[in-house]
Amino acid sequence: MIIELKIITVTLNPCIDMAFYVNTIKLGALNRAQNCVSSVGSKGINVSRVLKMLGDQTIAIAFAGGIDGDRLSAYLDIENIEYEFVKTAANVRTNVKIIEDNGIYTEFNQSGGPINADEKEKMLKQIYKASADADVLFLGGSVPPGVDKDIYAEIIKEVKKTAPHLKVILDCDGEALEKGLKEKPALIKPNQYELSTLCGKTVETVEEIEKESLKIYEKYNTAVLATMGADGAVYTGEEGTFKVKAPKIKAKSAAGAGDTFLSAFLHYKWKRTNDGEKNPQKIVENALIFAASAAAAKVEKEGTDIPTVDEMKKYI
């Protein structure tokens, strides 16, 4: 019997991504783009998109308002992704990515929101209702104005009471990550910068990342999947500590690479575990290899285009 992973993703601050490909940025002058790609962005929605591509059951929950909220709905309709949006008075934000020929990647992100108290309450009710029969709850991305930084901690604390079977994945940074971690989610997925901020010091080498990830796991019983971009990733959890190198590729867009890595890792680990494979260490090792291949395939695409399943496997 095939057991599908059912994951609820929550995006409090969704966006439309505009990626401009230019030769070189000229400050204070007119810049003409060689190409421009407009697509849906943000962590939670990207996770739903990748999981949908992999054949899993997912529902994307997000705040969405204004004309760009309608654009967001249209994008997800095209990809046949189930979603439940909480309408807001504020328009969905637009984030701008500028990719130069030399590989330099520059971003300009709007803050989003503001979200009012009534909208926040509707969002919480939507999350708790959807989580009741789900396997995984993904919470990720920035927190918009009008919402306190402890929102993820509040959600984790509540679902642990109402849906104790649920595995909560947290992928955010700064104060929101620090407060959310105290409620002991099943896994966090920081990049190097986010892990450094959480630890209060710069972590650069694989050894430093392994050391700090182990401290987090031992203190909170929370697994850590730390991504390092072109340098790969490190996983620390009950199975042990594992690392994987990233394939060497020509990058077109890093947007959504970490979300793709996480989604591919979760999918593979869940599928192999429920297929009856008995070696958890081997499952994690192979999940990391698949995730690294999937993320590399994503980086080779423009904008936030999602690679196909066959493309995700190309570097295994």
Task: Tell which residue, 100, 149, 99, 97, has the closest CA to residue 120.
Answer: 149
Cβ atoms of 237 and 223 closer than 8 Å: yes
> What DSSP element (H or E) covers 98?
strand 93-100
Q: Is 245 exposed, middle or buried (0-12, 13-18, 19+ CB in 10 A)?
A: middle
Alpha carbon 227 to its chain centroid, in Å, reads: 11
SS3 for 185?
coil
User: H helices then E strands: how many in the chain?
Assistant: 10, 13
Q: Is 98 exposed, middle or buried (0-12, 13-18, 19+ CB in 10 A)?
A: middle
In the annotation, is 310 catalytic? no
Among candidate residues 56, 135, 259, 305, the one labeled active-site is 259
Sign of the C-alpha dihedral computed for residues 125, 172, 16 and 234 taken in this order:
negative
Tokens standing for 112? 């989003």
Beta carbons within 8 Å of 49's beta carbon, 6+ residues apart: 40, 79, 81, 306
SS3 for 81?
coil
Alpha-carbon Rg for the chain in angstroms: 19
Cβ atoms of 298 and 260 closer than 8 Å: yes
Residues annotated as catalytic (active site), given as ranges: 259
